[in-house]
């Protein structure tokens, strides 16, 4: 496809621009895109640090001609002498990039350190380290999602963004699968946007919420079929991302109002909540900030001087939905329903059926052997009673999840990120037998009361709640 046809096609679909490779055809691409109001955002620049001329000599002629284009040269690095991620090569890389950056700066050209599995700069951390050592304001780092997933765990994605954000010039995304991603092949890690089990929307949301303002590119390498095959569903998914992000937080839509939903948290105050067995809201341990109701107690255990909070209203048959974002690695919290207050030794403890909220893999119970992965203590489970399905998908630390509880009084369902993960009947003998075998066996009427408030648990972890909504089932 000629560059003129490419520019017309991308304009028709609603894209903003394109990446180019090296100097050949670059000015032609810049002009073709400019004619239709698009841009060449980046150029893929090869640098071999073993050579006396590490990059194409034509770049010295091209860069002055790029003044005013705001192109970012994302440089990828190669060497036969050094292995991937070898810090011994840093000095050579830094010197080359500093020289290039100083030459490019008068023309408004920036350099981004591209990371790629098998290349000298292999990881997002490598990219950030080099950009930091170069110490030029026109040099930054890259976060390429598919190469990140191939070299690291998605559990550390938020930590990586936090580390690199101050230097982050370019991000590329795509559809991908979750799981043991370093062992996956590219057909699972590079897919059209909107495909795969990795929650790419929540990743983009996290980036923007943290203040990232740079370009976001779509990785299409080696996708099969005509461009329409992957570019059309990708732009549709991206437009869906934008529409979803624009939705206001902690409000009811017209549709929800018509359906009878009630907002339990408006993003501003805690008027619909109080402390367990108290008439007032706790004076410490909970706060409202950034459109979230935040349990902000550290230490990993329940805090008797802070305590859980409950709704001022009791509910019998309901649908409850909320979003939550665990901030503590290994953190623990929960949402309880059909709560009983004022029983047991601890009067600030509310007994109720608990939708477990847990960072499973890093929780102390798992590390100490007191729970197994995907047992009835794990995220989404009915705590101590029923385990959630082991194919559940939970987003990692710092990324929002959506949960829902549906109860018609006896039939109950737990949902996580759009998938039902627990289903049980409170009137069944199996449920009653499991209560008798649990730690709650001596709690009168545990799980059997007809109505009760909703409870958010303080368990010594930092966790954010928002968009908490409930609908009574008539």
How far apart, in whole angstroms, are the C-alpha atoms of residue 18 and residue 15? 8
Inform me whether the pLDDT recorded for 457 exceeds 90: yes
DSSP 80: S
CA distance 339 to 316: 11
Q: What is the pLDDT of residue 202?
A: 98
Which H or E element spans position 168? strand 168-173
Q: Which residue has the tokens 């909107």?
A: 194
pLDDT value at residue 460: 83
Q: What does the H/E/C string look like for 302-370?
A: CCCCCCCEEECCCECCEEEEEEEEECCCCCEEEEEEEEECCCCCCCCCCEEEEEEEECHHHCHHHHCCC
- How big is the chain, counted in residues? 474
User: Among the listed ranges 13-17, 57-61, 175-179, 282-286, which one has the minimum average pLDDT value?
Assistant: 282-286
Name which of 170, 177, 204, 205 is nearest 191 in CA terms: 177
Segment 117-167, tens digit of pLDDT = 999 999 999 999 999 999 999 999 999 999 999 999 999 999 999 999 999
Please give the pLDDT value at position 391.
92
- pLDDT for 348 equals 77
Would you say residue 336 has pLDDT above 80? yes
Q: Which residues lie below 8 Å from residue 195, measured CB to CB, with a gap of 6+?
A: 175, 233
Per-residue pLDDT band for 474 (boundaries 50, 70, 90) equals confident
Average pLDDT, the chain: 95
Reading the block at residue 310, the tokens are 């409950």
Q: How buried is residue 184: exposed, middle or buried, by Cβ count under 10 Å (0-12/13-18/19+)? A: middle
Give, as one character, the DSSP assignment of residue 81.
S
**How far is residue 367 CA from its own chain's centroid?**
24
- Report strand pairing: 168-173 vs 216-218: parallel
pLDDT greater than 60 at residue 373: yes
Superfamily of domain 3-246: Divalent-metal-dependent TIM barrel enzymes (3.20.20.150)
Q: Give the start-end residues of each E strand in 32-109.
A: 39-48, 72-78
Number of other residues whose CB lies within 10 A of the CB of residue 360 = 22
Q: What is the reported pLDDT for 450?
A: 96
Would you state the pLDDT for residue 276? 93
Cα–Cα nearest to 276, from 352, 341, 343, 336: 341
Six token digits for residue 214:
């740079």
Spans of all domains in the chain? 3-246, 254-472
Contact 169, 112 (CB under 8 A): yes
* Model confidence pLDDT, tens digit, residues 216-246: 999 999 999 999 999 999 999 999 999 999 9
Instruction: Give this prediction's pTM.
Output: 0.94
Letter string b/e over residues 29-52, b meaning 16 or more CB atoms within 10 A of that residue's CB: bbebbeeeebbbbbbebebbbeee
Domains 3-246 and 254-472 share a fold: no
Q: Distance between CA 71 and CA 352 in Å, rounded?
A: 57
CATH topology of domain 254-472: Jelly Rolls (2.60.120)
Averaged pLDDT, 379-390:
96
Q: How confident is the model at residue 344 (pLDDT cuts 50, 70, 90)?
A: confident
Q: Give the CA distances from residue 388 to residues 177, 349, 371, 378, in Å, rounded to whole numbers and listed in that order.
A: 20, 24, 14, 7
């Amino acid at each position: 496809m000629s560059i003129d046809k490419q520019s017309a096609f991308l304009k028709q679909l609603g894209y903003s621009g394109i990446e180019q490779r090296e100097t050949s055809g670059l000015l032609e691409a810049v002009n073709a895109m400019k004619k239709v109001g698009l841009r060449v955002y980046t150029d893929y620049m090869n640098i071999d640090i073993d050579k006396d001329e590490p990059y194409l000599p034509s770049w010295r002629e091209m860069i002055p001609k790029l003044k005013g284009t705001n192109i970012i040269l994302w440089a990828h690095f190669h060497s036969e002498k050094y292995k991937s991620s070898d810090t011994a090569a840093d000095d050579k890389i830094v010197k080359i990039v500093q020289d290039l950056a100083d030459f490019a700066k008068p023309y408004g050209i920036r350099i981004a350190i591209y990371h790629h599995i098998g290349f000298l700069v292999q990881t997002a951390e490598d990219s950030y380290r080099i950009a930091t050592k170069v110490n030029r304001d026109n040099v930054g780092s890259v976060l390429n999602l598919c190469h990140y997933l191939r070299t690291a765990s998605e559990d550390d994605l938020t930590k990586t963004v936090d580390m690199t954000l101050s230097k982050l010039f370019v991000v590329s995304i795509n559809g991908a699968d979750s799981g043991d991603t370093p062992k996956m092949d590219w057909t699972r890690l590079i897919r059209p946007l909107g495909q795969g089990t990795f929650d790419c929307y929540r990743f983009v949301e996290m980036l923007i919420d943290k203040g990232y303002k740079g370009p976001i590119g779509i990785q299409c390498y080696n996708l099969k079929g005509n461009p329409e095959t992957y570019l059309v569903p990708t732009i549709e998914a991206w437009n869906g991302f934008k529409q979803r992000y624009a939705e206001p937080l902690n409000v009811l839509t017209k549709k929800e109002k018509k359906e009878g939903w009630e907002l339990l948290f408006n993003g501003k105050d805690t008027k619909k909540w109080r402390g367990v067995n108290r008439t007032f809201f706790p004076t410490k341990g909970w706060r409202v900030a950034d459109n979230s109701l935040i349990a902000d107690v550290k230490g990993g255990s329940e805090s008797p001087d802070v305590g859980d909070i409950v709704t001022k209203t009791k509910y019998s048959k309901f649908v409850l939905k909320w979003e939550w974002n665990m901030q503590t690695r290994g953190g623990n919290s929960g949402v309880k329903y059909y709560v009983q207050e004022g029983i047991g030794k601890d009067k600030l403890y509310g007994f109720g059926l608990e939708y477990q909220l847990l960072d499973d893999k890093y929780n102390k119970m798992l590390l100490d052997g007191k729970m197994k992965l995907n047992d009835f203590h794990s995220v989404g489970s009915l705590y101590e009673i029923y385990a959630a399905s082991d194919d559940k998908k939970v987003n990692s630390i710092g990324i929002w999840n959506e949960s829902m509880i549906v109860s018609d009084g006896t039939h109950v369902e737990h949902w996580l990120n759009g998938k039902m993960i627990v289903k049980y009947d409170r009137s069944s003998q199996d449920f009653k037998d499991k209560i008798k075998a649990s730690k709650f066996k001596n709690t009168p009427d545990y799980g059997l009361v007809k109505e009760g408030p909703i409870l958010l648990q303080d368990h010594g972890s930092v966790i954010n709640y928002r968009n908490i909504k409930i609908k009574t089932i008539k």
